[in-house]
């Protein structure tokens, strides 16, 4: 079944399994967009949960001729931007990079050390980007969204998206000059 069919099944028959399947199918993809935006595992989990709460609450207004994936991305990015604004206001900046995560195995300690250093640099580099530039980079690189679809999601022109992606890449290349 497609995502759209699962939505229809839940809305028309109240099928909870369809809803569960919809969440299972999309939770990983949403988290892969949210984590690089908020750069903290605990915050990422909270935001992903908030995304799905909003999705379920808003399913009634979802136009079924539209693509569920596009709608989900829009809800995700709106939730992320709102979260980042709130976090900035409360000034609780908790930057956690992947280096804090236990490496899966210690069979290549030199490589792990190099990866740890690079992970820290990437986390800090992403944090330097404004939410809009980071969003453009994250959506195009990690979720492979086309500029046209991203323009629809963000409600701006394609030229603006190309410009944001270019700016973000330029900044990242500068900040990661020893690796790129």
Partner 1 sequence: MAREDNDRLNRILREWLDRADDGADREALRQSITQAVDRMTPMADSGNETGRRRRRTSRTICAAVAAAAVLLVAVLWPFRNARQPEPLPRGNDPTQELLAKLDVDELQRRLALLDQLDDLFEDRWEWMVECGDRVDMHVSSKPMDGVSSEPVAVRLAVLVRDNPAEAFRVEEKTFVLTRAEQPVEAVLEDGVSRKLYFWVFPIDDGLFTYDVDLQTTEPRKMSIRTSGAVASGRPTKILSFEQDGRQYRVYLLLVPGRPPSASDRTRQA
User: Which residue ranges make up the site for partner 1 (CB under 8 A)?
Assistant: 11, 13-16, 19-20, 23-24, 27-28, 31-32, 35-36, 41, 44-45, 48-49, 52-53, 56-57, 59-61, 97-98, 100-102, 104, 115, 118-119, 122, 137, 141-142, 147, 157-160, 162-163, 166-167, 169-170, 172-173, 176, 179-180
Kindly give the residue spans of alpha helices, DSSP state H, lying in 91-178.
109-128, 131-141, 147-154, 158-175
Q: Which residues contact 175 (CB under 8 A, 6 or more apart)?
A: 121, 124, 125, 128
CB of 163 to partner 1, least distance (A): 5
CB of 101 to partner 1, least distance (A): 3
At residue 81's C-alpha, the angle toward residues 149 and 175, to 5°, is: 85
Distance of alpha carbon 1 from alpha carbon 22, whole angstroms: 10
Specify the residue, 85 or 170, whose C-beta has the smaller distance to partner 1: 170
Specify the residue, 13 or 89, whose C-beta has the smaller distance to partner 1: 13
Specify the residue, 10 or 91, whose C-beta has the smaller distance to partner 1: 10
Nearest to 22 by CA among 48, 1, 45: 1
């Amino acid at each position: 079944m497609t995502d759209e069919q699962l939505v229809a099944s839940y809305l028309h028959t109240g099928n909870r399994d369809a809803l569960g399947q919809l969440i299972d199918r999309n939770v990983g993809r949403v988290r892969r967009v949210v984590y690089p935006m908020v750069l903290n595992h605990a915050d990422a989990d909270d935001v992903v949960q908030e995304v799905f709460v909003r999705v379920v609450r808003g399913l009634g207004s979802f136009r079924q001729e539209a693509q569920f994936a596009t709608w989900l991305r829009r809800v995700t990015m709106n939730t992320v931007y709102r979260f980042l604004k709130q976090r900035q206001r409360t000034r609780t900046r908790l930057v956690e990079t992947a280096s804090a995560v236990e490496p899966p195995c210690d069979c290549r300690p030199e490589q792990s050390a190099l990866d740890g250093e690079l992970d820290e640099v990437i986390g800090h580099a992403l944090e330097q980007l404004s939410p809009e530039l980071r969003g453009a980079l994250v959506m195009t690189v990690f979720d492979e969204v086309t500029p046209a679809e991203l323009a629809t999601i963000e409600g701006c022109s394609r030229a603006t998206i190309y410009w944001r992606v270019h700016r973000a890449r330029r900044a990242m290349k500068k900040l990661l000059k020893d690796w790129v």
